Amino acid sequence: ETGVTQTPRHLVMGMTNKKSLKCEQHLGHNAMYWYKQSAKKPLELMFVYNFKEQTENNSVPSRFSPECPNSSHLFLHLHTLQPEDSALYLCASSQEVGPDTQYFGPGTRLTVL
Amino acid sequence: DAKTTQPPSMDCAEGRAANLPCNHSTISGNEYVYWYRQIHSQGPQYIIHGLKNNETNEMASLIITEDRKSSTLILPHATLRDTAVYYCIVRVPLGGATNKLIFGTGTLLAVQP
């Protein structure tokens, strides 16, 4: 247990569905991250939030919409996804000062049919 | 693009030390070297990090060369549960409280009984 939880752990959705991924951190951190890991590819950073403000968007398509209502929660809203969006989606958090190591959640395995 | 290069795979006998090499010849002066590992389909697990001094914790030791162009992660007594993909990562500051981990393809360490 890293103190970062993600739900659901597995999700299957059609291309016309709308779903949301949730991440919660219990570490008192101020920064949160979304990563995508496709089969046989390195982890790719998608979004970064610092104190609820989005500070990085790595050219992610608009069908992925992040939301950070507070420093402990992060959502990734999904709509009209493509089969190539099937991947493991990972959330991480880090603190502002001192050791700002990123701690990862277990991930959500997404399959788009 | 990843700023590190690692061998794609390595084997190690159970109970022996595992030495995982990493090259990061373009690392900048304020960029840390981080090591994570990922067991199949789980979130990456933080192992250790360093800037220029050698580091040791309960999981591993990190040896960084004096010119900082390469490093070695040492697992002193590998067990079967250490079988995983090991990522050597250069952490790039983004400004403010956030940072960016640039993942490569890692080294698959297979610990043999």
> Residue range A106-112: average pLDDT?
96
CA–CA gap between residue A87 and residue A64 (Å, rounded)? 13
Nearest CA in chain A to B34: A101
Largest pairwise CA distance in chain A: 44
Using a CB-CB cut-off of 8 Å, the residues of chain B touching A97 are 97
Of A5, A2, A11, nearest in space to A73 by CA: A5
CA–CA gap between residue B71 and residue B67 (Å, rounded)? 10
CA–CA gap between residue B101 and residue B113 (Å, rounded)? 33
DSSP B5: B
Q: Which of B49, B97, B105 is the closest to A31 by Cβ?
A: B97
Q: What are the structure tokens assigned to B56, written together? A: 């040791």
Q: Is B51 on the interface with A (CB under 8 A)?
A: no
Using a CB-CB cut-off of 8 Å, the residues of chain B touching A33 are 98
Give the confidence band of A96 by pLDDT, cuts at 50, 70, 90: low
CA–CA gap between residue A22 and residue A69 (Å, rounded)? 11
**Mutation for A interface: B98, B100, B103, most A CBs within 10 A:** B98
A88 pLDDT exceeds 70? yes
Choice between A95 and B47, residue whose per-residue pLDDT is larger:
B47
Would you state the pLDDT for residue A97? Answer: 57
Would you state the pLDDT for residue B97? Answer: 66
Nearest CA in chain A to B101: A45
Q: What is the pLDDT of residues B38-94, one digit of tens each?
A: 998 789 999 999 999 999 999 999 999 999 999 999 999 999 999 999 999 998 877
Q: How far apart are the first and last CA of chain B?
A: 35
B1 pLDDT exceeds 90? no
Is the Cα dihedral A70, A71, A73, A77 positive or negative? positive
**β-bridge pairing B107-112 and B9-13:** parallel
How many other C-beta atoms lie within 10 A of the C-beta of residue A22? 16
Would you state the pLDDT for residue B9? Answer: 97
Would you state the pLDDT for residue A82? Answer: 94
